[in-house]
Amino acid sequence: MINYNQIYVAVRIKAYLNAQDKEESCISSFTDKQIVISKSNLYEQQYEFNQIFDSQCDQEQIYLCVVHPIVQEALSGISSNLIIYGSQGSGKTYSLFGTIGSLFTLKQGLISLESGIAIRMIHQLHQQKQISELKIFIIDNEQIINHLTTNGQSKWIDLAKQLCEVIQNLNDSIIHVVIEIKTLQNSKIKIIQIGSVSKGNSGQMVTHNKSIFTLHRCIQCLLDQQKQKKIIQMQRIYIPFRESKLTNLLSNSFLGQAQLKIILCLAPTKIDDALGTLQFGQQFQQIKIIRQQSKLQTQLSVQQQFQTQSQLQLNEFNSMTTQSQTLEMIPIQFHLQKIQELTDKYESIIHYLQQKIIKYKNQ
């Protein structure tokens, strides 16, 4: 069976900050998976995503639905990338880091209702003592500028203070902000806030820099391959992800080695921006990437197979001996024969697993 890395795309509708915002909303209806955008009853377009979070959803709900599973998987060795995408003022920074008020509470080491999903993730992994390295950096016009590197060994209160300082300095809306965590399980989580995009007067997407342009090219290449009905095995086709820093960061997802999730932040008062954001997310939903197992996953699955097989054999042996005790009449030759059969089975399983390990090491 071919195993695909599915790209999970969720939409977060920005909270209506006043009554006028609600009146000007371009969202005519939505369910938990569908959203309909309309303009003065002249135009209507429906989109489907994995999850639509309505404007009243709080930070914790988003965290539990989208990020908590990423953390759980990272602890079993699976890497993930999470993209936060949206137009200017659509709530990207709010979703990741929270409000100024929540940063104030964070300075005291506290998580509040408004604390963003990135803060919650760092807090959870820190509490579980799973951070081997935490980095926060920005990509500004293809330049990587580091803002924080730590091994996560410091006390939470000290790390929280450092985080506040860093976040307060990230105030340019067209840079990309990256939070990268390496766990003790050797997995990586990258949360990438893509710098704001908006639509120009011509209706074309205005791309602020090379990274976004290259990201669009990568998506297009993946989709073109699919249209030609070729199976996408990323190592064999040219995807230009090395041509920008942003797409390079996402390369493990393009290669099927890491999961990819996207949160689209939607400001319902700006229809052109909203449509651009939803169309961007829709393209990702059409991509299917063949999952490549990581080394750790392969080791784990071989180990799991061995444990399952061993357990099955053990159960078989136990049930056999229990039955024989009750029957009592079964001669010793029968037991010896069964033991020999089991030994043969074990040897073949061990041989099979050894071959798999050799094949895997040679890859």
Ligand X SMILES: Nc1ncnc2c1ncn2[C@@H]1O[C@H](COP(=O)(O)OP(=O)(O)OP(=O)(O)O)[C@@H](O)[C@H]1O
Write down the least CB distance from residue 274 to ligand X, Å: 13
Instruction: List binders of ligand X among 178-217 (CB under 6 A).
Output: 196
Which of 7, 9, 11, 14: binder of ligand X (CB under 6 A)? Answer: 14
Quick count: other Cβ atoms within 10 Å of Cβ 200?
10
Write down the least CB distance from residue 292 to ligand X, Å: 33
Name the residue nearer to ligand X (CB basis): 117 or 219: 117
Which region, judged by CB under 6 A, interacts with ligand X, from 86-94, 183-191, 303-311, 316-324? Answer: 86-94
Q: Tell how far CA 237 is from the center of its chain.
A: 23
Name the residue nearer to ligand X (CB basis): 5 or 198: 198
Which of 86, 152, 256, 276: binder of ligand X (CB under 6 A)? Answer: 86
Instruction: List binders of ligand X among 288-347 (CB under 6 A).
Output: none
Which region, judged by CB under 6 A, interacts with ligand X, from 82-90, 149-157, 205-213, 351-359? Answer: 82-90
- For residues 345 and 311, what is the distance between their CA atoms, to the nearest angstrom? 13
- For residues 192 and 83, what is the distance between their CA atoms, to the nearest angstrom? 5
Would the annotation count 116 as a binding residue? no
Which of 25, 71, 91, 152: binder of ligand X (CB under 6 A)? Answer: 91
Two tokens at 255? 């290669």
Q: Can you list the positions of beta strands (E) in the chain?
A: 4-13, 27-30, 34-39, 43-48, 51-53, 79-86, 131-140, 143-150, 176-183, 188-193, 198-199, 205-206, 258-266, 288-290
DSSP 135: E
Would the annotation count 102 as a binding residue? no
Q: Examine residue 93 and tell whether it contacts ligand X (CB under 6 A).
A: yes
What dihedral angle (degrees, nearest 10) is formed by the CA atoms of 325, 327, 329, 330?
-70
Would the annotation count 28 as a binding residue? no
Which region, judged by CB under 6 A, interacts with ligand X, from 26-34, 87-95, 150-158, 256-264? Answer: 87-95
Residues listed for the chain? 363
Q: Examine residue 265 and tell whether it contacts ligand X (CB under 6 A).
A: yes
